[in-house]
Amino acid sequence: MVTVATDTIELSEQQRLVRESIRDICSEFDDEYWREKDRAGEYPHEFVTTLGDHGWLGVLVPEEYGGAGMGTAEVVVMMEEIAASGGGFAAAQAIHGGIYNSVPIVRHGSEELKEQLLPDVAAGDVAIQSLGLTEPNAGSDSTSIETVADKHDDEYVINGQKIWTSRVDASDYLLVVARTTPKSEVEKRTRGISMFLVDVQDALEAETLEMKAIPKTASNAVHAYELWFDDLHVPAGNLVGERGNGFYHLLDGLNEERLVIAAECLGLGELAIQSGVDYANERVVFDRPIGQNQAIQHPLAKAYAEVQAAKQLTYNAATIVEGESGAAVGAQANMAKYLAAEAAFAAADAAVQTHGGFGVAREYDVERYFREARLTRLVPITQELVLNYIGENVLGLPRSY
């Protein structure tokens, strides 16, 4: 077997330690584990629990609260390795929320909220896996959300609906974004939005939260839900950050998270290319391995080049994103996500084509990679919206949306 080179970036000592530690953990979960999770639509609890036991769900939690106190440069390595290990985009997405939903609390939560939650998050004992933002009438236009939170004495009462809210079934807490001031009453549409921490079990027991799974065809092991809030009571102390500034709290850290999504796409692309190369070397047709044919070689080689190009941009941006801000960093983060998603899709498509008819057979996994790669072009931001961002903020063209 030929091992396709993926260690192509010069890493810091800390990044190398992260890579080796994550590889050791992922080696405990083989292809059959991920194949079965996808087939059965089962959340990978064993995998997530193992990562949590080793402290990886607290990778972004400051050391003073028991976390690892690492940053984007380390998480990029971590998530690329997880995806490339065999689990693909679904494996990375199984814990993505658990890592990044702690960031608003770290940066904007009250000290009481931090002390109450973050040590348990860092220890893997408490999960904040879900973010309720998207709504049926407000997809990419997040400022048009209709879920409302009204203040009553020392609590807020939330009413509304969310859709495409992932991992609620694997989460102790849910971050809910709601309007505390109507859009018609604010000077800027980004104002008047707030963020709340909701205890999922308490809400279910009080019958103020209803959830329904959304059947889908990609990342089957990570479930998405439609949610309804009916007079859901939340203590005022569960307001995360400042009332009315929740939209800005969401944006804070967006570039870092987008780079990590790019890394997850890279790992998926590397996984697909390795699968394609393996099959191309093993499969013999007309008395020769099919990998000897340029029709097989060229798509895989092109995909590899594209993955490596996206990887250079992603890792370069990860080294500067936390020390800088502004349109330049935003452009790099968005371009990295765009290029990595396109590269992952090309890699998965080439892997399926290399396998011929077996490309759609579940036993070879590449059909799963293809389904997941298609999803990366939609989430967490569509490719078209990335191009809108670049057109407006980099090229100076008129706003198109």
Q: How far apart are CA 106 and CA 108, in angstroms?
A: 6
Closest CA to 273 of 341, 347, 344, 343: 347
* Superfamily of structural domain 130-244: Butyryl-CoA Dehydrogenase, subunit A, domain 2 (2.40.110.10)
Low-confidence ranges of the chain (pLDDT < 70): none
- The whole-model pTM stands at 0.96
Q: Where in the chain is the domain with CATH 1.20.140.10?
A: 247-394
* Superfamily of structural domain 247-394: Butyryl-CoA Dehydrogenase, subunit A, domain 3 (1.20.140.10)
Instruction: Provide the pLDDT for residue 37.
Output: 98
The structure tokens listed for 305 are: 């080049």
155 - beta bridge partners?
A: 152, 235
- Among 3.30.70.20, 1.10.540.10, 3.30.2230.10, 1.10.1200.10, what is the CATH number of 13-123? 1.10.540.10
Residue by residue, DSSP assigns 164-210 as EEETGGG-SEEEEEEESS-GGGSSSTTSSEEEEEEEHHHHHHTT-EE
Q: How far apart are CA 103 and CA 220, in angstroms?
A: 26
Instruction: Provide the pLDDT for residue 327.
Output: 78
- Sign of the dihedral through C-alpha 224, 226, 232, 234: positive
Q: How far is CA 363 from CA 28, 33, 271, 368, 380, in A?
A: 19, 12, 15, 10, 29
Q: How far apart are CA 23 and CA 292, in angstroms?
A: 31
Q: How far is CA 117 from CA 72, 79, 96, 102, 379, in A?
A: 22, 23, 18, 9, 28
The structure tokens listed for 375 are: 């999803």
**Residue 199 — φ and ψ, nearest 5°?**
-75, 110
pLDDT in tens, 74-118: 999 999 999 999 999 999 999 999 999 999 999 999 999 999 999
Closest CA to 148 of 120, 179, 126: 179
Chain length of the chain: 401
Instruction: Provide the pLDDT for residue 326.
Output: 73
Q: Are 253 and 100 in contact (CB under 8 A)?
A: yes
pLDDT in tens, 5-58: 999 999 999 999 999 999 999 999 999 999 999 999 999 999 999 999 999 999
Q: Where in the chain is the domain with CATH 1.10.540.10?
A: 13-123
Closest CA to 111 of 64, 42, 48, 158: 64
Q: Where in the chain is the domain with CATH 2.40.110.10?
A: 130-244
Instruction: Provide the pLDDT for residue 253.
Output: 86
